[in-house]
Structure 1
Amino acid sequence: MSRWRLLLTRPEADCAALAQTLAAAGIASSSLPLLAIEPLPRSDAHIRQLAALAGCQAIIVVSKPAARLLLERLHEAGIQAPPRGWFSVGEATAAVLQAAGLQVTYPALGDDSEALLALPALRQAIAGARVQVMIVRGVGGRELLAERLAEQGASVDYLELYRRCLPDYPSGTLVRRIQAERLNGLVVSSGQGLEHLQQMAGADWPQVASLTLFVPSARVAEHARAAGAQQVVDCRGANATALLAAVQRSAAPAS
């Protein structure tokens, strides 16, 4: 049995699936979702963007919530998903689209924009004149994908389907959970997850920042260290496999 006792902070459904994976490997965890997915209202603008997917050379879906909501909105609008041109940032997002019969290209290593931009298939898809790219995501987020693709001559648009919110918890919930369950590690899956962790911690952030923090990428690791996190582990991916490997290669605190 592992000595790790981790706090999972992903959206509720993701926490449940991740907790099962960790439990099967003998790793204890507790779930406190710090990201809630709030779908945006349906609009005529969304319908127009959904219809425009057929004219895109590349459709980039950046998260599982984006993939699920996109498929749901396409079905509701009676619009058939284009047969080709699908890309995702990671394997888990690709799996949602693949379950709907779509062929999706994604990086074998890395769950971030940099890994996706390095894919030869994406470079090939955007080669040529008048290339249209649609990025399907939540409100806000990194602009790196759009900026790099625009630099290569592509016309890029966003289809934003949801916003990420911090659930409403009583003051002190985070530290009380850590203390009550003697947790010794924290898991965040994105830069926004890190921001919500700091917001949730409030004045207790120095205490929370002393725990080992597992993050999905070098970029989030850099932000965590700049914020004062003392022990940061880059999992080199946001999926359960990457987290499990990172936890297993990291020595848990003695107590």
Structure 2
Amino acid sequence: MTGWRLLLTRPADDCTALAELLAGQGIFSSCLPLLEIAPLPVSATMRQTFADLPRCSAVIVVSKPAARIAVELLDSYGPASLAMPWFSVGAATAQILLDRGLDANFPADGDDSEALLQLPRLREAVTRADSQVLILRGEGGRELLAERLRELGASVEYLELYRRDLPAYPSDELPLRIEAERLSGLVVSSGQGFEHLRQLAGDAWPNIAQLPLFVPSPRVAELASAAGARTVVDCRGASAAALLTALREHPVPVL
């Protein structure tokens, strides 16, 4: 496992944290953030949604950026107290909510939507009569979670809090980085992260697509395979633990 030399593409702070963790396991990594979080301007809809939170049976927060922005909006526009349960896929997102004093829950086994949907607390909240669920996320994203919740009888609404921009890099930054640092694998944490990777690769994509690509879910794996990535590894989660497990299970390619 220590032979891997990885390109990390998460937002800058998350990239640095993951690089430090990997270094502790003897794994070299190079940070090239491909997602820059840009909070959306606070709108009347945002203010009203947070003022009306007590109507919700449950609130689902899909990411750490969404959790951080939600806490800020709560402090400015939210009610004095909130009794409903909050949910996230991962422990790190849940911790931001817990630090705010919210009743945050996350699946202990698995860090994807499927694991979240199996939580008894969530199923209890969404199967009550007239249940209303609010999902806090960035612009875009998959609809599977909402579809499954609606199948359980819940009314579901989204509130988008931020967008994910591609930072400005020279057009040849990606292939030069891969060559200079002898990288043997690529890591993306979301579908949009992959789209930005493909965009930055430009004409070099056919060569870059030969490298093993570690992705967080079957959906992103399908996206990458359809775009021509030759070896796609589904880590079954975006956490560092999920990535480490995948690295242990896959040999370092001979370049």
1:19 aligns with 2:19: yes
**Distance in 2 separating the partners of 1:153 and 1:241:** 33
Shift of 1:120: 2.3
**Distance in 1 separating the partners of 2:149 and 2:234:** 26
**Distance in 2 separating the partners of 1:82 and 1:244:** 37
Shift of 1:122: 1.4
Residue pairs, 1:27-176, within 5 angstroms: 27-77=27-77, 79-80=79-80, 82-176=82-176
Shift of 1:40: 0.5
Alignment match, 2:208: 208
Deviations 1:178-203 (A, max 9, x none): 01111111000011111111111111
**Distance in 2 separating the partners of 1:218 and 1:108:** 20
Q: Percent identity?
A: 62
CA contact (8 A) 1:18 1:240 kept: yes
Relative to structure 1, is the Cα distance of residues 156 and 90 closer, same or farther in structure 2, using a 3 angstrom cutoff?
same
Alignment match, 1:241: 241
Q: Letter of the aligned partner of 2:40 in structure 1? A: L
Alignment match, 1:179: 179
CA contact (8 A) 1:3 1:253 kept: no
**Distance in 1 separating the partners of 2:106 and 2:204:** 38
Deviations 1:194-226 (A, max 9, x none): 111111111111111100111111221222222
Unaligned runs of 5+ in 2: none
Q: Which runs of 4+ in 1 moved over 3 A?
A: 78-81
Deviations 1:51-83 (A, max 9, x none): 111111110000000001100111123644523
Shift of 1:123: 1.2
CA contact (8 A) 2:111 2:238 kept: yes
Unaligned runs of 5+ in 1: none
**Distance in 2 separating the partners of 1:14 and 1:224:** 22
Shift of 1:245: 1.9
Deviates more, 1:113-122 or 1:183-192: 113-122
Q: Please state whether the residue corresponding to 1:201 is helix, strand or coil.
A: helix
What TM-score results when the alignment is normalised by the length of structure 1? 0.95
What TM-score results when the alignment is normalised by the length of structure 2? 0.95
Relative to structure 1, is the Cα distance of residues 96 and 174 closer, same or farther in structure 2, using a 3 angstrom cutoff?
same
Q: Please state whether the residue corresponding to 1:214 is helix, strand or coil.
A: strand
Q: Letter of the aligned partner of 2:195 in structure 1? A: E
CA contact (8 A) 2:64 2:93 kept: yes
Q: Please state whether the residue corresponding to 2:141 is helix, strand or coil.
A: coil
Q: Letter of the aligned partner of 2:210 in structure 1? A: S
Alignment match, 2:199: 199
Q: Please state whether the residue corresponding to 2:52 is helix, strand or coil.
A: helix
Q: Letter of the aligned partner of 2:184 in structure 1? A: N
Deviates more, 1:177-186 or 1:98-107: 98-107
**Distance in 1 separating the partners of 2:211 and 2:138:** 29
